[in-house]
Structures are given as structure tokens and as C-alpha cells.
């Protein structure tokens, strides 16, 4: 049998190359590189749901350029359950978020219109 080690090494490198590229691409995704994100960011959106028992608010927000978030709807934790008392479903709000991927937290929120 011929020495197949160079062939096997070439196959492994070829198979793993897309994974390395994907890992580099993920570094630029929101929340995937917390060191590069600002400590807090400002956003504007509409309240879609409030869950006081979980301390979460679902916001349909505009793009937030400073943290490279596209416009989307997402449920976010709140820093305090008291933040939920000043808003209701349907309110247009301005909010402050501490970005950390899927564990981002709303630290302030204010209704813009009623």
C-alpha cells in the first residue's frame, strides 16, 4: 500500500477550511464579538409583547447602527421589572440596550407616544 498520509492530510485541510472561514465571518456578527461592541446603544421601536413574569419585552426595533443590528423583532431581558411599568403593547419607544448577543438587556425605556 502506498503512503496515504499526504492524501488524508489534504482531505482534512480541505474539509476544515470552510469551518475556519465561517468562524471568521461570525466574528463580525452582532453579539459575537462583545469586546468590539459599545457598552450601551440607543434604539427606537414598537412594543409587541411584555412578559412581567420573565422580565422580558418584545420589541420590533429599527436598525441600530452602532451595534450593527438590523431592524428586527426580538424579546429582550430587562435590567429591572420596573422598566416594564411605564410602557404598554403598541407604544413606540426609545430604549437603551446593553448588547450581548442573545443575552442583551434593556437598561432604560421610554414611551414616545401614547
CATH at 64:
2.40.50.320
- Residues of the domain holding 89: 1-114
How does residue 25 score in pLDDT terms, banded at 50, 70 and 90?
very low
- Beta-carbon contacts of 44 under 8 Å, excluding residues fewer than 6 positions away, are 61, 62, 92, 93, 94, 95, 112
How does residue 62 score in pLDDT terms, banded at 50, 70 and 90?
very high
pTM: 0.66
27-61 as b/e, with b when 16 or more CB fall inside 10 Å? eeebbeeeeebeeebebebbbeebeeeebbbbbeb
Mean pLDDT of the chain: 81
- Beta-carbon contacts of 92 under 8 Å, excluding residues fewer than 6 positions away, are 44, 45, 46, 111, 112, 113
**Into how many domains does the chain fold?**
1
Alpha carbons 79 and 86: distance in angstroms, whole number? 14
Amino acid at each position: 500500500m502506498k503512503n496515504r498520509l499526504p492524501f488524508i492530510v489534504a482531505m482534512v485541510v480541505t474539509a476544515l477550511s470552510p469551518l475556519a472561514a465561517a468562524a471568521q465571518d461570525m466574528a463580525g456578527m452582532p453579539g459575537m464579538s462583545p469586546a468590539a461592541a459599545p457598552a450601551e446603544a440607543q434604539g427606537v421601536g414598537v412594543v409587541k409583547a411584555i412578559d412581567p413574569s420573565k422580565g422580558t419585552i418584545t420589541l420590533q426595533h429599527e436598525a441600530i447602527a452602532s451595534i450593527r443590528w438590523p431592524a428586527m423583532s426580538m424579546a429582550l431581558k430587562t435590567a429591572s421589572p420596573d422598566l416594564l411599568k411605564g410602557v404598554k403593547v403598541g407604544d413606540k419607544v426609545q430604549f437603551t440596550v446593553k448588547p450581548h448577543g442573545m443575552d442583551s438587556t434593556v437598561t432604560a425605556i421610554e414611551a414616545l407616544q401614547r
